[in-house]
Amino acid sequence: MPGCLNSMITESQTETDIDTSTEGSVRRASNSSAFTEAKRFVIVGLINTALDLAVLNSLIFLTHLGRNGLWFSVFKSISFMVAVANSYVINHSWTFGGRGGRRSLTQASQFLVVSLVGAFINVTSASYVATFVPAIPGLESYWPSVAALAGTACGLASNFLGYKHIVFSARQSAPSDGTP
């Protein structure tokens, strides 16, 4: 079939495997490890986002506070940290396949630091939306969740890059033999 892929790039191929079999010399490279990690990170992120929203909305529902302002920021911080704890466990064991060695205090500390940077980005942007951006008509009752999702989107990239290259880096698990 002209213009269609003649072969599929599978997840087991490396970044040097390139499909040049399509018309128009379309070239496509796939780093299966990075793609698989990114895909898993998104899945874990969806789980954590649901957990984040559930905790946030439960706190708002139980206290009748926190739809915006200071209480929103406090509740969003709590819900974010609950999701971060869940994220560490799942990302360590599944997303990054235990890379970076077994769980340790050092690794958990690195995860926390990267997550705190992400939390700052997440909570700040979510609080800004909840407090200063006028709710879209018809979405007023959902605005805290809309703001939380905006914060999640803003913190996503920094978290992935930090987890991949700092916390769960393959360098972390390499034995130290004196070579760089």
Distance CA 56, CA 54 (A): 6
pTM value?
0.65
Q: Which residues, 6+ apart, have CB-to-CB distance to 74 below 8 Å?
A: 66
| CA pair distance 5, 24, nearest whole angstrom | 11
Q: What is the pLDDT of residues 92-130, one digit of tens each?
A: 889 887 776 667 788 888 998 999 999 899 889 999 999
pLDDT digits (tens, 9 = 90+) for 37-60: 889 999 999 999 999 999 999 999
Nearest to 78 by CA among 119, 124, 42: 119
